[in-house]
């Protein structure tokens, strides 16, 4: 499985955080690969809408673009903080940590 993660926006521009990060489970240690697979499943990633509108009146919120390719199937979603779904939030936090 390959996951591409990108952050944009926010109050403060941090160049290092704006670079996309790509994770491939084939390149990760087995435990990390399993955790990433679990988080994608727990988020119901392939059932998420492609875009989630930002909250009304939102300004300077972080925006996330996540693309997952697994077994020939690809899906991309765009999200804006705050993320209400705890499964999706856990996936974003994991990817943010990897991007940091």
Q: How many CA atoms lie within 13 A of 13 on its CB side?
A: 1
pLDDT at 55: 65
* Across 68-95, average pLDDT: 94
DSSP notation for 13-64 = --HHHHS-EEEETTTS-HHHHHHHHHHHHHTTGGGS-SB-PPPTT--S-EEE
**Mind listing the pLDDT tens digit for each residue in 7-34?**
987 555 555 556 899 999 999 999 999 9
pLDDT at 14: 52
- pLDDT of 54 over the 90 cut: no
Domains of the chain by residue range? 2-99
Q: What is the mean pLDDT of the chain?
A: 88
Global pTM?
0.87
* Across 52-57, average pLDDT: 70
């Amino acid at each position: 499985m390959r996951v591409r993660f990108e952050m944009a926006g926010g109050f403060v521009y941090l160049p290092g955080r704006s670079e996309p990060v790509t994770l491939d489970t084939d390149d990760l240690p087995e435990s990390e690969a399993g955790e990433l697979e679990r988080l994608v499943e727990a988020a119901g990633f392939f059932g998420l809408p492609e875009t989630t509108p930002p909250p009304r009146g939102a300004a300077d919120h972080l925006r996330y673009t996540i693309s997952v390719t697994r077994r020939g199937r690809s899906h991309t979603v765009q999200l804006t903080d705050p993320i209400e779904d705890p499964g999706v939030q856990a996936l974003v936090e994991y990817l943010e940590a990897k991007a940091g």
